[in-house]
Structure 1
Amino acid sequence: MFKRARPLEEKIMIVKALENGTHTISELEFIYNVRDGTIYKWVYRYEKYGIEGLKESTTWRRYSKELKLNSVKDYLSGEYSFRYVIRKHEISSDSVLRQWIKKYNGHRELKDTGKRRSSSITIGRKTTWKERIEIVQDALANGKNY
């Protein structure tokens, strides 16, 4: 099964239906083909952040090394549930915490989330028509795939 982004209106309708008591979690799962964990996540985000919490995120969240380490240790201590750790540390999704745990258990360092590197493409200099002809002829003469 693939991940399908749901329209905001549909998420609101599902959360409201559960909130009003018009449908149970099981009914909503069946009607909308959504897992119960997803519905619970939407309800939590709606209660905590309102409608903004149900909107799709368009940016990467940054996490400090300390927060990552504390989150992993909280979970591995057995004192807190997976879901509680995510909510306590306001981690964006289950998969983020799972990645940190996998790195930690693999004895790899958890680092601060930094800015993503922008790909720098070297911009070539301007060439004349004659230079371009020479480049092509040189490539063909030397067996290079132009």
Structure 2
Amino acid sequence: MGRKSNVPSEIKIAAVEDYLKSKKSVAQICEELSVGNTTVREWIKIYESKGELGLLPMTRNIGYSKELKIKAVEEYLAGNGSALDISMKYGLRSKKQLQNWIMKYNSHEEIKSSEAGENRIMTKGRRTTLEERIAIVGYCIENGTDYNGTSRKYQVSYQQVRSWVIKFEESGIDGLLDRRGKCKPEDQLTEVEKLKAQMQLLEAKNKRLEMENALLKKLEEIERGRG
């Protein structure tokens, strides 16, 4: 059975309410929405803890200190709860945030604070070349679609980064071309050049997926061992 990467918030809420009213089972919801059992149970737990707001899209960035992130990771690794339990305890929107921190912790990457003063969103954009946009999108994808961190690293706006990633996901390398009248239009790239750029971004995406899959397998092993 296929898996949907995104289910609208209103559908999640309706599904959870149907479950809580005993109108549908978890299995029925999984079948109807093409999602996994764990995903549905996560929605239910979030709804029970935070209500409908917990399943609505975030309207602003929430900052977390470096100390809190490390504490949450170490608490999980010490066996003090499941990924979802620890995420709920520390007020995270989903266990994916915790999993990203664990991935950095285990690979000895620096875990940085993302508190309000250090999590300021860059709003001023700038002109970029196609090569820059390819590098920016590749970095963003490889780092878990960290729009804010990518915008700071490359000194472009948050909205630019988000827009380029979405365009790449929808249209491939053609989505990154800038056709606003130039001496040498970027759409004159040869097919070989386009293919090389496309491969560069797909490699970044595959690398990220491999890292995520390896982490998820490890987390599943840990949680099975605790059961």
Calculate percent identity across the aligned residue pairs: 28
The count of corresponding residues between Structure 1 and Structure 2 is 123
The unaligned stretches of length 5 or more in structure 1 are 123-144
- Residue 121 (structure 2) aligned to one of 116, 122, 140: 116
The residue that corresponds to 1:38 in the other structure is 39
Instruction: Check 1:79–1:55 CA distance in 2 against 1; reply closer, same or farther (3 A cut).
Output: closer
What pairs up with 1:6-85 in 2 under 5 angstroms? 6-8=8-10, 10-85=11-86
The unaligned stretches of length 5 or more in structure 2 are 128-182, 185-227
Deviation larger for 88-97 or 60-69: 88-97
Taking structure 2 as the reference length, the TM-score comes to 0.48
Distance in 1, Cα, partners of 2:102 & 2:40: 24
RMSD: 2.1
Q: Which amino acid aligns with 2:120?
A: K
Distance in 2, Cα, partners of 1:7 & 1:83: 19
The structure richer in helix per residue is: 2
1:60 is displaced (CA, Å) by 2.1
Distance in 2, Cα, partners of 1:80 & 1:13: 28
Taking structure 1 as the reference length, the TM-score comes to 0.72
> Which digits, 9 at most, give the CA deviation of each residue in 1:73-98, with x for residues without a partner?
00111232212111111112222112
Instruction: Check 1:5–1:59 CA distance in 2 against 1; reply closer, same or farther (3 A cut).
Output: farther
Are 2:15 and 2:29, in contact at CA under 8 Å, matched by a contact in 1?
A: yes
1:19 is displaced (CA, Å) by 0.7
Distance in 2, Cα, partners of 1:13 & 1:2: 17
State the secondary structure of the residue aligned to 1:18: helix
Q: Which amino acid aligns with 1:71?
A: A
> Which digits, 9 at most, give the CA deviation of each residue in 1:15-58, with x for residues without a partner?
12111112211111112222222222222222222222221223
What pairs up with 1:86-97 in 2 under 5 angstroms? 86-97=87-98
Instruction: Check 1:111–1:43 CA distance in 2 against 1; reply closer, same or farther (3 A cut).
Output: same
Query: Which segments of structure 1 move beyond 6 Å, counting only runs of 4 or more?
Result: none
The residue that corresponds to 2:105 in the other structure is 104
